[in-house]
Chains A and B, each alone.
Chain A
Amino acid sequence: MKVLVTVKEVGEADDDFEIEGTDIASSDLEYDLNEWDDYAIEAAVQLAEAGIAEEVVAVTIGPERAEETIRMALAKGADRAVRVWDDAFEGTFADVSSKVDVFEAVVDEEEPELVLSGVQAADTAFGATGVALAERIGFDHAAVVNDLDLDADAGVANVHRELEGGIEELTEVDLPAVLTVQTGLNEPRYASLRGIRQAQRKEIAATDLADLGLTPADVESTLTLTEMYEPESDSDAELIEGDAGEAAGRLAEVLREKGVGA
């Protein structure tokens, strides 16, 4: 089967950073592969090593700069990559539906049986692309997957989903499917020097909207960034002192003041 992995290059701000307009100054950002996409790549490469996946294709929406990040995915074992970018994305803040428009077109072209996606992106943290894509392309899906056992013959993915409060759901998802991947699924490998060398010879297909049969209108975003600011940190922590009895009394007093138990 073919596995498509959606990956994103995310910028992580330095400890000290400047805000320029509605963004963090690019000189204060360090770009890297989104952590959760790293787990998704690892899962796909493990499927390939187990002989289940015949091809692993990574796809990203990003400018030329993102090639280095996607090259890292190739160095870790993905076979080839598709990088979608278009002038229409310049200076805009893509919403979930415009990303899904792009990935839907890529899925139409690649016809994967399994799509793996990080549960969220470290920068915008929408956590929506994977499941919204599943809905659009009519695949089954499971979100927040932290354990995967794929039965290719039966066409079923047995997954564990991490739910709130330490609860796990064990469920089966019929293929073709989209799975969004949570921390804990695996331990991503480091790119070996051999992998890095081989990655130089792997294809990263630069693709624009017209190549995918889309127009700028298709990916128009309903979101705009209006402001970027650092929240003022308001710290008035009270350290409760005294023995257990005194401390408990003072804590009860504070909680009552705040309206607890009223």
Chain B
Amino acid sequence: MIDYFDLEASLSQEERLLVDSARSFVEGEIDDMGEHWIEGTFPTEIIPKMGEMGFYAPNLEGYGLPGVSETSYGLLMRELEACDSGLRSMASVQGALVMYPIHAFGSDEQKEEWLPALGEGEAVGCFGLTEPEHGSNPSAMETRAEKDGDEYVLNGSKTWITNSPIADVAVVWAKDHSEDDTPVRGFLVETDRDGVTTNKIDEKLSLRASITGEIALQDARIPEENRLPGVSGMKGPLSCLTQARYGIAWGAVGAAQDCFETAREYATDREQFGKPIGGFQLQQRKLAEMATQITLAQLLAHRLAELKEAGEMRPQHVSMAKRNNVRMARDQSRIAREMLGGNGITADYSPMRHMTNMETVYTYEGTHDIHTLILGEDLTGIQAYQ
């Protein structure tokens, strides 16, 4: 894939091996993502295979997890999203949104119970934050937990939850009404408990090769030891999202690179007026712009990895990278689709699939606009969204 400034040369041998291996895995194991996208299905048989590969939370240590570098983690997300945003979303949710909070805030028992199983893909997890009436402002959430003896009783509903219909466990964020000031707390809710239902959301026009659903909690009782002991308040869910958005900033580059390669190949093969369409200035301008924008996004992702590795990455850095790179992939996938003409609207080619996927990625994990306001606040010291 396009790497105009030879950033791969800055990778360690270990990182290059990871790219090779992830690429072979995707090529060898994902049969036809276009077909899954059309059918609205996820290739669930690869969930344990991705676990065997160590694709879930590979940047975490212990519990059999590989503990790779932050750059490696980013590269992996890039390779997965070059195939499809649904594939990267699977790994993002399982790793950054489910395993990360258990690893960071869980008890030893919770870690023992869940991290190996989730890491191997024997169990699937999901992350319940967004509610039907509370998207960009999750701190206004209505889902509540109340202590009753040695149990918590949960009530509320969550929506737009990747993998909820196939999940074994949900990390549910709820306000704990048994505590003063009703702080937001994380709860591990097994989805087979009474009072828990996970309906699937159908007829999505974007991110179709990914399973999305709701979590409804009606007097769902969980043992008190299922609460994540190590965190209280919005920094719990927000710190998870920082991890996941980091992966998105990298993943979007992969989707755009795949669009670029498809468009370049098409432009050099497809002949009109007696020569390849890539020989015309209009198409060359598109390719030049696409290559430039991808390269800029790639540079941002690599620098973000260095900051993360050094412990100097701030959530605002991630906001800027996610905001820029997803917008870039959204715009450039459309240009790639355009270069393919009528052929570009079929599932035989990846750009339109990436293009529609990007509508989801543009809006989830903090909308583009909300990330704008996070940056605005960071730059002026004045909050615009309160």
- A interface residue numbers (CB < 8 A to B): 67-68, 71-72, 75, 190-194, 196-197, 199-200
Contact = CB atoms under 8 A, between A and B. Distances in A.
Interface string B12-26: 011011101100110
A72 B16 CA distance: 10
Interface in B27-72: 28, 52-55, 58, 64, 66-68, 72
B25 A68 contact: no
Contacts of B18: 193, 196
A8 to B, nearest CB: 17
B68 A197 contact: yes
27 contacts: A67-B13, A68-B13, A68-B16, A72-B17, A72-B21, A75-B17, A75-B21, A190-B21, A190-B24, A190-B25, A190-B28, A190-B53, A191-B20, A191-B21, A193-B21, A193-B53, A193-B55, A193-B58, A193-B68, A193-B72, A193-B76, A194-B54, A194-B66, A196-B17, A197-B66, A197-B68, A200-B14
Contact residues of A: prevailing secondary structure: helix
User: Lowest 9 A-B CB distances belong to which pairs?
Assistant: A193-B54, A193-B66, A191-B21, A190-B25, A194-B66, A193-B58, A192-B53, A196-B17, A192-B54
A66 to B, nearest CB: 12
Contacts of A67: 13
Nearest to A191: B21
Contacts of B52: 192
Contact of B13 (A71, A191, A192): A71
Q: Report the interface size class on chain B.
A: 20 to 34
B20 A72 contact: yes
A11 to B, nearest CB: 15
Name, among B14, B17, B20, B52, the residue most crowded by chain A CB atoms within 10 Å (CB to CB). B17
Given A75-B21, A190-B28, A192-B53, A197 B16 contact: no
Name, among A71, A72, A192, A199, the residue most crowded by chain B CB atoms within 10 Å (CB to CB). A192
Name, among A68, A194, A200, the residue most crowded by chain B CB atoms within 10 Å (CB to CB). A194
A207 to B, nearest CB: 19
Name, among A68, A193, A196, A197, the residue most crowded by chain B CB atoms within 10 Å (CB to CB). A193
